[in-house]
Amino acid sequence: MHSNVGYGSDADVAALAALVTDAEAAKDAVRFGQIREVRVLAAAGQLAERQAAGASERAKAHEMALRSIAAELAGVFVATDRTLQRRIDEARDLVESYPATMSAWEDGRLVRGHVLVIQDAGAIVPGEVRAEFERQAIDLCQGETPNRVRERLRMLAERLHPRPFTERHREAAAGRCVRVQPGVDGMSDLVATVPTVIAEGIVDRLTQQAREIIHARGAADARGADAGDAPDGALVTGSVDAAHVGSSFVDDTRTIDHVRADVFSDLLLAGTPSLDPTDTGDGNGALGAIRAKVQVVVSALTLAGQDEHPADLVGRSPIDATTARVLAGENTGWDRLLTHPVTGTVLECDTYTPTAAMKRLLRARDRHCRFPGCRQPAIRCENDHTIAASHGGPTHIHNLANLCKRHHHTKHHTRWRVRQLPGGTLTWTSPTGRVYQDNAPPPLVTFTPPGFTPPDGVTRPGLTPPGRLPPEPPAGAGATPSRPPF
């Protein structure tokens, strides 16, 4: 169901199309300027090295030459010389260590965001495998937005590193600690350096508990807004029945960030939230029973101990194989994914505990919101009918996809259109007719049978760049997508 009311006439769409054309020209101009700036800064660093080449104390001479050049350029860029010196180092690293990336950027195959994530992820990759990392990284970036490809590049870098991730994680974990960074106005930052999976679990549990408190606060007044879905940082209010949850909740206007911080303090100081609005007086409330949820993708070979490849903490970063095995062994509910041996696309999902299988498969297949470029995790998205149920769309996996609330509304209340093709591929058409193809993301951890050779023409799925696809079939003439091949 779509509505065009309030969102522009055909003339407005034509005006938008003109803006898009101008935007493309502006984007190219900015790209050329960015590339030129990087090469100028890299050349400045090379000049400093040449100036110091014949000096007796070469390191000191190079530093002084670099400082002088940075100070000269700082006046041009209206920045500090320290900032310019850092940018010179970064530019030189990019030009000298990532030549293929620079070429792809100059050819328009990458944007500045891609270049930054490639350079960031490649920082841990030794020089002897840097070229292979670049080749695969550029391929992964084709048609994908930088924020979506970031974690895949991190996983790629980890796989190409000669030292096993488990070994490096064990060394890094020896540096875990908790420290206080004093701030101003009587505030401080309490910083805990812990394994990523622990940190994500802590934040997830705090978020669930905070939302439970806000929900209980708002539910006391039938006229209060449903604050359970309040976004992070949003101000949520509601009248409260003091007799039910305690007088301290009257006129409570804390944001979800405030509640998270307060629950965090309560848990560390008292072992349990000091105020639980779900406590009825006959027993413990619901907050204590809330457990953290994290989504981890790990290959069967890694689980079986046949390799030490890192697992994927979905939407965040790699985790070591040992932690992944512990999580799988102690969890009573986990999914087994059947993936395509070439593309890695999820074909089927089952579980050893009773569950809503269709939602689990969708969560495993999509992993995040399926609107182009969005990375909102699937566990915080809504299951949307590609063809609305009111228009005859079936409630089946081939007609469902995860969309965050923002893009769910965009789909239903603007001129954006979407079709779902076999295998979970979505083709989005913008109001100006530009088409974006979003394939179901492959798991970052996959394996292929020994000796398996991909057929000619098979490529990894990704977000296809803007282009033109055949027009949608008319209503009643195959408008309902065919079933995927599983």
Q: Are 243 and 372 contained in the same domain?
A: no
Q: How many CB atoms lie within 10 A of CB 203?
A: 14
> Per-residue pLDDT for the chain (486 aa), expressed as one digit of tens each?
444 544 667 888 889 999 999 999 999 999 999 999 999 999 999 999 999 887 788 888 899 999 999 999 999 999 999 999 999 999 999 999 999 999 999 999 999 999 999 999 999 999 999 999 999 999 999 988 999 899 889 989 988 998 888 888 889 889 999 998 988 878 889 999 998 888 888 898 899 888 888 887 776 544 444 444 444 444 433 333 333 333 345 567 888 899 999 889 888 876 666 555 555 554 445 566 666 666 777 777 787 778 888 887 765 667 788 878 877 766 655 565 666 656 666 666 654 333 567 888 888 889 999 999 888 888 888 889 898 877 777 777 888 899 999 999 999 888 899 999 988 899 999 988 999 999 887 766 555 566 656 555 444 444 444 444 444 434 433 333 333 332
Q: Is 475 helix (H, G, I), strand (E, B) or coil?
A: coil
Q: Residue 485: count other Cβ atoms within 10 Å of its Cβ.
A: 8
Q: How far is CA 192 from the centre of its chain?
A: 22
The side-by-side arrangement of strands in the sheet containing 317-319 is 296-297, 311-313, 317-319
For 420-462, the pLDDT digits (tens) are: 998 889 999 998 899 999 988 776 655 556 665 655 544 444 4
How far is the C-alpha of 200 from the C-alpha of 316, rounded, in Å? Answer: 9
3-state helix, strand, coil in the chain (%, to 5): 50, 10, 40
Residue written as token pair 């953290």 = 292
Domain hosting residue 398, numbered range: 332-467
Q: Tell me the longest C-alpha to C-alpha distance in the chain.
A: 82
Q: Give yes or no for a contact between 367 and 381, defined as CB atoms under 8 angstroms apart.
A: no
- Name the burial class of residue 275, with classes exposed (0-12), middle (13-18) and buried (19+) by CB atoms within 10 angstroms of its CB: middle
Whether residues 388 and 283 fall in one domain: no
Mean pLDDT (the chain) is 78
For CA atoms 374, 482, 335, 464, give the dihedral sign.
negative
Within-domain flag for 484 = no
Token match 């003339």: residue? 11
CA atoms within a 13 Å half-sphere pointing along the CA-CB vector of 152: 26
Q: What is the pTM of this model?
A: 0.60
Q: Is residue 232 part of a domain?
A: yes
DSSP per-residue codes, 12-71: HHHHHHHHHHHHHHHHHHHHHHHHHHHHHHHHHHHHHHHHTTT-SSHHHHHHHHHHHHHH
**Bridge pairing between strands 346-351 and 463-467:** unpaired
* Residue 245, number of CB atoms within 10 A of its CB: 22
Tell which of 262, 289, 316 closes a domain: 289
Residue 123 shares a structural domain with residue 203: no
Whether residues 14 and 48 fall in one domain: yes
Quick one: 358 and 216 in the same domain?
Answer: no
Q: What is the dihedral of CA 362, 373, 439, 483, to 10 degrees?
A: 50
CA distances from 322 to 148, 169, 195, 352 (A): 26, 10, 12, 22
Q: Are residues 164 and 200 in the same domain?
A: no
10 Å Cβ neighbour count for 13?
16
Q: Report pLDDT digits (tens) over 191-232.
A: 999 988 888 888 988 998 888 888 877 765 444 444 444 444
Same domain, 262 and 406: no
User: Which amino acid is located at 401 in the chain?
Assistant: A
433: left (phi over 0), alpha (psi -120 to 50) or beta: left
**Facing residues of 425 across strands?**
421
Domain count of the chain?
Answer: 3
Structural domain includes residue 233: yes
The reported pLDDT for the residue numbered 347 is: 65
Statement to judge: residues 209 and 162 lie in one domain: no
